[in-house]
Structure 1
Amino acid sequence: MIVRIVNMHFKETSIGKFQNMFDAYKEQIRNQPGCSFLELYQDKDDSQRFYTYSYWEDEEALDAYRKSELFAKVWPQTKALFDEKPQANSVVKIHSLL
Structure 2
Amino acid sequence: MLSKNQIDKLGERVKAGNLTDQDLRSLDEYRRSFAMAYDVAFSVSRSFTKQEPTGRFKSNNSIVEKLRRESIRLAQIQDVAGCRIVVSGMSDQ
Instruction: Specify the TM-score bucket, using the shorter chain as the normaliser.
Output: 0.3 to 0.5
Task: State the TM-score, normalized to the length of structure 1.
Answer: 0.33
- Structure number with higher helix proportion: 2
Q: Which has the higher contact order (CA 8 A, sep 6+)?
A: 1
Task: State the TM-score, normalized to the length of structure 2.
Answer: 0.34
Structure label with greater radius of gyration = 2
